[in-house]
Structure 1
Amino acid sequence: MRVGVVSVASMWRDPLGIQEREARYRAEMSAVGAETGVEFEWHTPDVSAAELSACDGLVVLVLSGGTERPALTAVSRWPGHFVLLAHGADNALPAALEILSLARGAGAGGSLIQARPGWHDELRRTLHLVRTRQMLTRSVLGVIGSRDIEPMPEWAMETRVRETWGVQLRYIPMAELLREIAVVDDAEARHIAGELKAAAQACVEPNDDTIVGSARLYCALKSIVARHRLSALTVRCFDLLTPVGNTSCYGMARLNDEGIPTACEADIGSAITMMISYYLTGSPGFMTNPAEIDPATGRVFLAHCTIPTRMCECFTLRSHYESGLGVGIEGTVGTGRATLVRVGGPELREVYAAAGTLVDFERRTELCRTQVLIELDSPSEAARILSRPLGNHHIVLKGDHADVIRDYADFYLR
């Protein structure tokens, strides 16, 4: 990843002193870059927009006061979010505050790092956010089938997702998936079905033919991912029940295991949630339906019929709960820290992220196959789901990742 750096200093400062000051920052930033895989490309304040366009991010190094004009000129030539790194003395911070205020007033997005003890770690965290944005802007999300209840038409959704998240949408007709299922190699499908049966702790409803059919669906989805060079996927899976008599629960679970964030029900908001969560944390997500929410205790009971198996201690092959068809995954997730996440709102700009703990529970028979109970650290976060929902589906991540997800939202969406 390449990040441009523009250093600015007042013309009234001693040039030799400024050169020495900048050299120290160059050396320290170079060390951070070597650790994080970032190449810093240094520019003077008169850098052109064309030169900056080759970069994935922009840092403006404020070395002194009296630097507002050259810094704002550089920022005006950068189309995205920028970072100000303010030297710890010589009125650099007052100048940086003025720069940030004026830039935001003009509609630009920026953030400020003070060069005080710990600034190297803050820069590392910031570069992680920039890298996540880079990954999103290079991603293509395939949508197989489409929902009738999206907040905007397809063309508007495509524009909104690109502008807000940097992700390109690619709509793929369900007929293409059905054609692909028909031409899957039978031997390959049977081999994959054998692997699935061997990995499962038990098998309840599905017979061998059903498991092979589920494996065919996985192979077909994998082929579409390769053909369209997709980074992520969401499928209107209920549209498969009638023509195929099977479900994509296993195929989506396996794609998530393989690092392709994949969501059910052609839910673009959930797919975006799974993408940003995976890119930020490296952890796959469990897409769930909230089944019961207790705002007094902060406990949220969630369930769904597909989950990445690497999130599970063990799993059993079941049917899809709502249809009784296909292969659903009944996973045992265990206990420990977890995060509940959702992207939504009328413009897909709102982010919900709450930390909690997965706790023991009594399994219910009248819900989808994989079930979890998370006790959120703040009961008000559970109440918020009821009072200001961003949608039905919420993504469960193992581990405590709420802070980094909120950091990304603050960095790029505010």
Structure 2
Amino acid sequence: MNINIYPIKSVLHDGSFINKETENLFKEIELIDDFKFNITDLDDLYKADLSLILVQSGGSEGFFLEVESELKEPIYLLTYGTNNSLAASMEILSYLKSKNKEAEILHGSPKYLSKRMIELIKSHSSKKEIQNLGVVGKPSDWLIASNVNYEACLDILNINLIDIDIKELIELYKNQDIKNYESDLILDFDKLELEEAKKVSKALEQLIKKYNLKGLTLRCFDLLDTIHTTGCLGLSLLNKNKYIGTCEGDIPAMLSMYILKQVTNQPGFQANPSRIDIENNEIVFAHCTLPFDMSNSYKVMTHYESGIGVALRGKMKETDITIFKLSKNLKDYYVSEGRIIENLDEDNLCRTQIKIKLNDVSYFLKNPYGNHHIIVYGRHKDTIDEYFKRKS
């Protein structure tokens, strides 16, 4: 990750001492992650993954005014803990905020600075390139609150939605040879069910390659009557293999999973609320397409509703999580941090079942954005908020 730096400082300060401090700061951050810092002039400042103004000393405010007209928003002020660097940065930031300009001070330990820089790089990079996501079949008939405007998706999110007839998937499935099916997974289950599920999995991979997709959503229930299997295994494997895959043709869920992948670099679990304990702010989520690499262990089963196909009952880590869902208008969203407190093993729910503790579950009963939500490990609310702040 390349970070370009434009330094400013007062002539009253010892340049050699300050430059040594700068060098030490960069070295400490580079030891934490894959950064490369470059001191540049203003002409080259914005030719990198991230561009920062390094405020090296107090008294830099006047020098900042001299270059302000050549700077692009958002303006990030990198500071030391010495030489009155922070004080000068606060004066500059107050000045910028009074002009309603987007700006922020980057100050703290090398570990914090590394984390924050990664967040900013991911946030900015997500806006640069148009990516393709596939819609295999239309959204399922019961997703009556989950339609999306394709043009708005391209305009707001830089995502091109490509409709793919489910008949194409079925034809690919029919022509699969799985003799050389490669997988590092141990799947102890009915041989015929596994063969059919693997054929769907390979067909999905071929669609990914053909249409240059970053992921897809599948109207999976249409497979039940046509080829008598499900897409659960294939979607679980797509998510394991660094793509994204959601079921039921749920486009907002797919977009939500894609955004989470961009900002956290983690797979996400598409699930729907099954039971809510309002008094204790606890909620049970369940679904059949858990990514393999989100499970500590798993049992291979059939798809819940149909009793056919191949799905996972995975045991997830009991740890901090983030729940996220983008609304169908592609601007509003729900995000909340919580914790998985229990894995369940019930017969009347979709295969992977987790109980989550939140601060407040009222959103799900008063103003939810559809039924499916995406769950990732870790606490990422600030990063997601940052992503949408950049989009606005």
| 2:383 is the alignment partner of 1:408 | yes
Q: Please, which of 182, 186, 191 is the counterpart of residue 174 of structure 2?
A: 182
Structure-1 residue corresponding to 2:324: 342
Q: Which segment drifts farther, 174-183 or 293-302? A: 174-183
1:25 alignment partner AA = T
Distance in 1 between residues matched to 2:295 and 2:199, nearest whole Å: 23
Deviation at 1:357, TM superposition (A): 3.1
Deviation at 1:150, TM superposition (A): 4.1
1:311 alignment partner AA = M
Q: 1:243 to 1:158 in 2, by over 3 A?
A: farther
Q: 1:9 to 1:343 in 2, by over 3 A?
A: farther
Structure-2 residue corresponding to 1:262: 245
Structure-1 residue corresponding to 2:151: 155
Q: 1:296 to 1:29 in 2, by over 3 A?
A: same
2:315 alignment partner AA = V
Q: 1:306 to 1:199 in 2, by over 3 A?
A: same
1:83 alignment partner AA = Y
Q: 1:360 to 1:371 in 2, by over 3 A?
A: closer
Q: Please, which of 134, 144, 147 is the counterpart of residue 143 of structure 1?
A: 134
Distance in 1 between residues matched to 2:251 and 2:27, nearest whole Å: 38
Structure-2 residue corresponding to 1:165: none
Structure-1 residue corresponding to 2:89: 96
Distance in 2 between residues matched to 1:235 and 1:103, nearest whole Å: 47
Distance in 2 between residues matched to 1:156 and 1:139, nearest whole Å: 13
1:128 alignment partner AA = I
Report percent identity of matched pairs: 22
Q: Please, which of 60, 78, 89 is the counterpart of residue 53 of structure 2?
A: 60
Structure-2 residue corresponding to 1:2: 2
Q: Please, which of 346, 354, 364 is the counterpart of residue 385 of structure 1?
A: 364
Distance in 2 between residues matched to 1:395 and 1:82, nearest whole Å: 32
Distance in 1 between residues matched to 2:88 and 2:385, nearest whole Å: 22
Q: 1:69 to 1:251 in 2, by over 3 A?
A: same
Deviation at 1:304, TM superposition (A): 0.6
- Given that residues 161 and 348 in structure 1 are in contact (C-alpha distance below 8 angstroms), is that contact kept between their aligned partners in structure 2? no
| 2:236 is the alignment partner of 1:253 | yes
Deviation at 1:355, TM superposition (A): 2.0
Structure-2 residue corresponding to 1:126: 116
Distance in 1 between residues matched to 2:97 and 2:169, nearest whole Å: 45
Distance in 2 between residues matched to 1:267 and 1:74, nearest whole Å: 44
1:261-340 to structure 2, matched below 5 A, reads 261-278=244-261, 281=264, 283-329=266-312, 331-333=313-315, 336-340=318-322
Q: 1:33 to 1:212 in 2, by over 3 A?
A: same
Deviation at 1:273, TM superposition (A): 3.7
2:347 alignment partner AA = T
**1:357-388 CA deviation, whole Å, 9 max, x = no partner?**
32254x33332122111223x2x2x2233334
TM-score by length of structure 1 reads 0.79
| 2:191 is the alignment partner of 1:199 | no
| 2:346 is the alignment partner of 1:364 | yes
- Given that residues 235 and 245 in structure 2 are in contact (C-alpha distance below 8 angstroms), is that contact kept between their aligned partners in structure 1? yes
| 2:66 is the alignment partner of 1:75 | no
Distance in 2 between residues matched to 1:120 and 1:135, nearest whole Å: 22
Distance in 2 between residues matched to 1:110 and 1:237, nearest whole Å: 45
Q: 1:323 to 1:357 in 2, by over 3 A?
A: closer
What secondary structure does 1:36 align onto? coil
**1:18-57 CA deviation, whole Å, 9 max, x = no partner?**
453244213321441353111112223xx13xx3443111
Structure-2 residue corresponding to 1:36: 33
Deviation at 1:247, TM superposition (A): 1.6
What secondary structure does 2:375 align onto? strand
TM-score by length of structure 2 reads 0.83
Distance in 2 between residues matched to 1:179 and 1:104, nearest whole Å: 58
Q: Which runs of 5+ in 1 are unaligned?
A: 163-167
- Given that residues 135 and 251 in structure 2 are in contact (C-alpha distance below 8 angstroms), is that contact kept between their aligned partners in structure 1? no
**1:320-353 CA deviation, whole Å, 9 max, x = no partner?**
2234443232x14156213141132333453513
Q: Which segment drifts farther, 24-33 or 293-302? A: 24-33
Distance in 1 between residues matched to 2:283 and 2:39, nearest whole Å: 49
Distance in 2 between residues matched to 1:244 and 1:110, nearest whole Å: 55
What secondary structure does 2:48 align onto? coil
Distance in 1 between residues matched to 2:259 and 2:96, nearest whole Å: 26
Q: Which segment drifts farther, 150-159 or 89-98? A: 89-98
What secondary structure does 1:365 align onto? coil
Distance in 2 between residues matched to 1:284 and 1:89, nearest whole Å: 40
Structure-1 residue corresponding to 2:162: 171
Q: Which runs of 5+ in 2 are unaligned?
A: none
What secondary structure does 2:204 align onto? helix
Distance in 2 between residues matched to 1:239 and 1:74, nearest whole Å: 56
Deviation at 1:393, TM superposition (A): 1.7
What secondary structure does 1:187 align onto? coil
**1:51-73 CA deviation, whole Å, 9 max, x = no partner?**
34431111111233424424533
Q: 1:348 to 1:141 in 2, by over 3 A?
A: farther
Q: 1:371 to 1:120 in 2, by over 3 A?
A: same
Would you say how many aligned residue pairs link Structure 1 and Structure 2? 378
